[in-house]
Structure 1
Amino acid sequence: MSELTVRAMTEAEFDRWQVGVVRAFADEQVAANNWAAETALELARQGNEALLPAGFTTAGMLFLKGELRDGTPVGVLWIGLTHPRGAPDCAFLYDIEIEPAHRGAGYGRALLAAGEDVVRRHGVAAIELNVFGDNARAVGLYARSGYRVVTQQMRKSLAGAQR
């Protein structure tokens, strides 16, 4: 996708994006039955604040925006250059979002590859991410982009289940 360019987000773009990413994370946690709907937004805010104590200027965090050459926004990436669980020489992809109008056109893969290039330029040898198992589109994107499963969590609901 030679028409895709990637640049650092501005602080104003970050402020708008952060509101949405917190809400989306809360919604994902509720959908996965990890958090109650009543507390999800606050838990997501707290988690975001823990990861980004200095907000936009938090050291080691990259906030990238993908655009078409004409400036049309395509998507965003949030990457930490250090792994949240301490994996050595491994960055962590916290978020990738593609604008709905641009999904399915290869921009996700192009934006992911551009983010990987930025991580390489920072001298980090690997990148890891988490994905919800029922997010088939994302799982497919990562598999086609060369990611492999390194850990896997599974859950069974026991509510109403009988032996």
Structure 2
Amino acid sequence: MTEMEIVADQGAWRGGFEERVLAGYRAAGCSEPLARALLERALKGVDGWTLATDGTGWAAVELTHENGASTGRIHDLTVPRHRAWAERWCAEQGAERVLVRLTGGGAGAFADYPVRAQNRMRAAAAEPRLPAGLTVRRLREEEYPRWYAREEASYVADIVRAGVLTPQQAQEKSDRDFAEQLPQGYLTPGHAFYAMEADGAVVGTGWVGHGFLPGVTFGFSLEVYEEHRGKGYGRAAMAVGEWAARQGGDEALMFNVFGGNEVAMGLYDSTGFTVLDEFRSIGL
């Protein structure tokens, strides 16, 4: 069997890779502008990727340093047997773990890699209706500090549960992410915060960013408080997200879910939210 060889010229590979990624996003229901915007995100740093082939297929890999750890990334793998080479390359570069992004889901050669996170999306109903008995209002500015503290604690717990980072690394990531997304806090342009109420009590909150991608509102958080779960509010929160997307002039709702949250994934499956990207990883 021919050995894998690293090649400098991406020309013979690049076009096919881009078409495979675009095909995955189109199959997931993305509009052409959205599919191309997602492709642009997937190609970030592509010129620095290491590309190898044995003449029968391609492997594109990269070593990154983030959250205090060295991570090997497998960006493309067209022949399953090349996985061993890609993992060995990552290990030789000093990676502590290997991560793969799968467009449109479908584990393929990486079925034994645990799911760490998913990006999901679906088109919002033309006229979303809020469930009976549930009202939605803007979160008040004086409520924001308490909401922020609760939201950050939940985010850190989600990251740790996904099995990727230590609690300290998760806290550091949370601090960076919140500072990046909400540089002006409650008054950050393009962001909206909601409180969901039923029977006079706040049962959950929502945080969305409008125009995140072409025609897409990103649901940073659609949270039902633990003491109010099991009452159907999870589905109601999805409806609130769609309603918020339309309020912001967008056509679709997108969000991220961390691995290890099977209840949430089951809810999203049943409510028709398609997997756009799935991230899986293993430690080395």
| TM-score, L = length of structure 2 | 0.51
Query: How far off its partner does 1:6 sit?
Result: 0.7
Q: Report the number of matched residues.
A: 154
> In structure 2, what residue type is equivalent to 1:2?
A
Deviations 1:61-117 (A, max 9, x none): 11111001x32111111111122xxx3111111112112222121111112202211
Query: How far off its partner does 1:122 sit?
Result: 2.1
Query: How far off its partner does 1:133 sit?
Result: 2.7
Q: 2:236 aligns with which of 105, 110, 129?
A: 110
**Residues 1:99 and 2:229 aligned together:** no
53-62 or 127-136, which moves further after superposition?
A: 127-136
> In structure 2, what residue type is equivalent to 1:139?
M
Change (3 A) 1:130 1:64: same
Change (3 A) 1:64 1:33: same
Q: What residue is the counterpart of 2:21 in the other structure?
A: none
What is the alpha-carbon distance in structure 1 between the residues aligned to residue 163 and residue 259 of structure 2? 13
What is the alpha-carbon distance in structure 1 between the residues aligned to residue 202 and residue 169 of structure 2? 32
Q: What residue is the counterpart of 2:143 in the other structure?
A: 13
**Residues 1:37 and 2:167 aligned together:** yes
- What is the percent sequence identity of the aligned residues? 35
What is the alpha-carbon distance in structure 2 between the residues aligned to residue 96 and residue 157 of structure 1? 30
What is the alpha-carbon distance in structure 1 between the residues aligned to residue 153 and residue 243 of structure 2? 28
**Residues 1:124 and 2:258 aligned together:** no
Query: How far off its partner does 1:22 sit?
Result: 1.2
Runs of 5+ in structure 2 lacking a partner?
A: 1-130
On the 8 A contact 2:137/2:196 being kept in 1, the answer is yes
Runs of 5+ in structure 1 lacking a partner?
A: 159-163
Secondary structure in structure 2 of the residue aligned to 1:50: helix
Larger Rg: 2
Secondary structure in structure 2 of the residue aligned to 1:109: helix
Secondary structure in structure 2 of the residue aligned to 1:3: coil
Runs of 4+ in 1 over 3 A off after TM superposition: none
Query: How far off its partner does 1:155 sit?
Result: 1.4
54-63 or 136-145, which moves further after superposition?
A: 136-145
On the 8 A contact 2:222/2:241 being kept in 1, the answer is no
Q: 1:51 aligns with which of 160, 181, 187?
A: 181
What is the alpha-carbon distance in structure 2 between the residues aligned to residue 42 and residue 108 of structure 1? 29
Q: What residue is the counterpart of 1:76 in the other structure?
A: 205
Deviations 1:142-161 (A, max 9, x none): 22222011111111233xxx
> In structure 1, what residue type is equivalent to 2:138?
A
What is the alpha-carbon distance in structure 1 between the residues aligned to residue 145 and residue 271 of structure 2? 29
> In structure 2, what residue type is equivalent to 1:8?
R
On the 8 A contact 2:209/2:218 being kept in 1, the answer is yes
Does 1 or 2 have the higher relative contact order (CA < 8 Å, sep 6+)?
Answer: 2
Query: How far off its partner does 1:56 sit?
Result: 0.3
